[in-house]
Structure 1
Amino acid sequence: MTPAVEFRGVSVHFGATQALAPLDLSVARGETLALLGPSGSGKSTALKALAGFLRPSAGRVLLDGQDVTDLPPHRRGLGVVVQSYALFPHQRVADNVAFGLKARKTRRADVTRRVGEVLELVGMSEYARRYPRELSGGQQQRVALARALAIRPNVLLLDEPLSALDAALREDMVAELLRLRAELPDTTLIYVTHDQSEALALADRIAVLRDSRLVELGPCEQLYRRPATEFTASFLGAANLIPVELVRADGTVATVRLAGRELSAEPSGTLQPERPVALGVRPHRISVGELGPGTFPALVRGVQWRGSGYRLDLRLTDEICDIRAEVPDGPALPAVGDRVGVSIPDGCPLVGVGG
């Protein structure tokens, strides 16, 4: 089946600066792909090249198998929602939503009907006569979504659409986007974010970018549970990377040595004998208690209350490394300077370091 979106060797340069290394990527119809990475990783540049806001320095952009590299944005038929929402302040909500339809010279009756449909879809029907300044940030975001959806795009692009909202509103809007996904099963979504929780909640697959390059691509659960690179392990879920010695590996199970003790691990990438390896251990999988058999000695260096529990900053003895653990509230909470026992579970992903 022809992909809804294809990047074929797409790169972007600003003079001597490489904003996007050659990118080869395809997205299926109805799929939601998250472009995830820190600031400056190239994710927004890729989206702008797809939307037509940037001309690739090399490579081709295809929509439904058609080369659109040289088409202007308004001829690509894409829906776009940006971080600032870009609503027209002098126009009412209904007029903002109707903008794309009027630009396509849609009949007035059809414009009115379609505006009503999409405002109903995003729960904003009663605000049609208001101006953007009379809306909250979450409501403005819904209007921006309605405007993008009004033209019935096959592909909807969202560039950090929730970053200007507070935490509670972001959670509400993630739920709203999930509902929209269910109601628009044939619409392809490409979602740019630096927030890994948004990517995990919304996407079918995640493309992880770093320093303008695609680092890793795969289904959300695969990248979270079995990341192939140290960067993905640490960025997607904030895993601790604990240096270990690789004893043996048979493809599906590996044995590693940490502080003289052997643990089983799950190889998640191509391991090379000459490269160091590390266990990717999520903070919530680390248990902290009294020092005893089967535990690794550690020094408590910091304690932070996080509402539902605590984050502990720990130094594994013998200067192995610093790690973080998430533990529930309780009477046995250690204090800074205490020496504790740390338990690391078997089956954590094993990734290559460096290279």
Structure 2
Amino acid sequence: MTPAVEFRGVSVHFGQTCALSPLDLTVARGETLAVLGPSGSGKSTALKALAGFVRPSAGRVLLGGEDVTDLPPHRRGLGVVVQSYALFPHLRVDGNVAFGLKSRKAPRAEVTSRVAEVLDMVGMGAYAKRYPRELSGGQQQRVAIARALAIRPEVLLLDEPLSALDAALREDMVAELLRLRAELPDTTLVYVTHDQGEALALADRIAVMRDSRLVEAGPCERLYHRPSEEFTASFLGASNLIPVEVIGADGPKRVTVRLGDRELSAEPTGALADGAKVALGVRPHRVGVRAASGGGTVPARLTGVQWRGSGFRLDLELTVDGMPPSAVRAEVPTVDGLPGVGEPVGVSIPDGCPLVAVRA
């Protein structure tokens, strides 16, 4: 089946500044792809190139197999929701939602019925005659989504749509977007965000970006549990990257590594070349901390403690002979029995963590 979206070597330059390195990426019909990365990673530039808001310096953009690189935004048939909502302040809610339909010269009866349909879909049917200034931020965002859906787009683009909302409202809107996705199974969503929680909750696949380039793309579960790239491991789930030495293979899916005087079983995420620099990707909640080293633990020093409401975040410095000190973060339910900051502790690392290739 022809992909809904294709980037073929798409790059964007503004003068001497590279905003997007050559990007090759496809999105299947009905798929939700989250484009995830920190500020300045190129994720919004990629979406703008897809929407037609910026012209690629090189490469081609395809929608449903059709090359749309040279088409203006209004001829691409996309629904777009941006962070600022971009509602027209002089139009009521129903007027905002009807704007795209009227621009396409849809019959009046169709405009009326479609506006009512999508407003009900996002739970805003009772607010049709209000102005944007009379709505909360979350309500304005729902109207922006309704406006994008009104034209029945095959592809819906969302650029940081929840970043202006408070935490509780973001949770509600994620649930709302999940419901909408279930109601629109044939609509392709490209969702740009820096929030990994949103990406994991909403997406089928995640494309991780950094420094204007695509780092890695794949199904959410694989990228979270078995990332192939160092940056993916540290950014998606905040894995600790602990340098280790590979000392033997137990088969294609298990290798033995050495950390200090401990041997651990680990899961390789790709082929390991001789002499490759590797690290264990260990989630903070899987790191155990004891009052003293020994008994299968790695010696460390406690460098910081933060109470996080549901538990404590511990900053640690591993001190393994023959290796430089390694910073590690742990999440634990209690600090009862642990010494104070600056004191030695023992750190336990479980078997089965993924191995991640580390850049030289």
- TM-score tier by shorter-chain length is over 0.9
Match of 2:315 in 1: 313
Equivalents in 2 of 1:95, 1:329: separation in Å?
A: 54
CA-CA distance at 1:333 after TM superposition: 5.1
Match of 1:261 in 2: 262
Residue type of the alignment partner of 1:311: R
Amino-acid identity (%): 78
Unaligned runs of 5+ in 1: none
Match of 1:352 in 2: 357
Equivalent residues in 2 for 1:1-355, closer than 5 Å? 1-249=1-249, 250-291=251-292, 292-318=294-320, 319-329=324-334, 331-332=336-337, 334-355=339-360
CA deviations over 1:73-111 (Å, ceiling 9, x no partner): 000000000010100111111111111001001111111
User: Is contact 1:203–1:220 with CA below 8 Å preserved after alignment?
Assistant: yes
Equivalents in 2 of 1:314, 1:287: separation in Å?
A: 11
Equivalents in 1 of 2:340, 2:314: separation in Å?
A: 9
Equivalents in 1 of 2:81, 2:195: separation in Å?
A: 17
User: Is contact 1:275–1:354 with CA below 8 Å preserved after alignment?
Assistant: no
Using the TM superposition, name which of 307-316 and 265-274 deviates more.
265-274
User: Is contact 2:4–2:64 with CA below 8 Å preserved after alignment?
Assistant: yes
Equivalents in 1 of 2:263, 2:335: separation in Å?
A: 30
CA deviations over 1:21-71 (Å, ceiling 9, x no partner): 111111111000011111111111110010010111111111111111111
Equivalents in 2 of 1:181, 1:175: separation in Å?
A: 10
Equivalents in 2 of 1:158, 1:215: separation in Å?
A: 21
CA deviations over 1:219-243 (Å, ceiling 9, x no partner): 0000000000110000000000001
Using the TM superposition, name which of 343-352 and 267-276 deviates more.
267-276
Using the TM superposition, name which of 279-288 and 13-22 deviates more.
13-22
Equivalents in 2 of 1:231, 1:269: separation in Å?
A: 15
Equivalents in 2 of 1:9, 1:213: separation in Å?
A: 11
CA-CA distance at 1:331 after TM superposition: 3.6
TM-score in terms of structure 2 length:
0.96
Equivalents in 2 of 1:85, 1:139: separation in Å?
A: 10
User: Is contact 1:51–1:76 with CA below 8 Å preserved after alignment?
Assistant: yes
Equivalents in 2 of 1:221, 1:98: separation in Å?
A: 39
Using the TM superposition, name which of 72-81 and 242-251 deviates more.
242-251
CA deviations over 1:297-317 (Å, ceiling 9, x no partner): 221111101110010001112
Equivalents in 2 of 1:89, 1:259: separation in Å?
A: 63
Equivalents in 1 of 2:328, 2:306: separation in Å?
A: 14
Residue type of the alignment partner of 2:101: L
Equivalents in 1 of 2:91, 2:271: separation in Å?
A: 55
Residue type of the alignment partner of 1:313: D
- Moved runs in structure 1, 4+ residues, more than 6 A? none
Equivalents in 2 of 1:118, 1:338: separation in Å?
A: 60
Equivalents in 2 of 1:296, 1:57: separation in Å?
A: 51
Equivalents in 2 of 1:276, 1:330: separation in Å?
A: 34
SS in 2 for 1:116: helix
TM-score in terms of structure 1 length:
0.97
Equivalents in 1 of 2:339, 2:159: separation in Å?
A: 42
Equivalents in 1 of 2:132, 2:355: separation in Å?
A: 50
SS in 1 for 2:87: coil
User: Is contact 2:155–2:187 with CA below 8 Å preserved after alignment?
Assistant: yes
CA deviations over 1:246-297 (Å, ceiling 9, x no partner): 1123431111110121101101133332331110100011111232311112
Equivalents in 2 of 1:122, 1:273: separation in Å?
A: 55
Count, aligned residues: 355
SS in 2 for 1:96: helix
Equivalents in 1 of 2:274, 2:233: separation in Å?
A: 20
Equivalents in 2 of 1:96, 1:28: separation in Å?
A: 30
Equivalents in 2 of 1:91, 1:333: separation in Å?
A: 61
CA-CA distance at 1:334 after TM superposition: 4.5
User: Is contact 1:305–1:311 with CA below 8 Å preserved after alignment?
Assistant: yes
CA-CA distance at 1:114 after TM superposition: 0.5
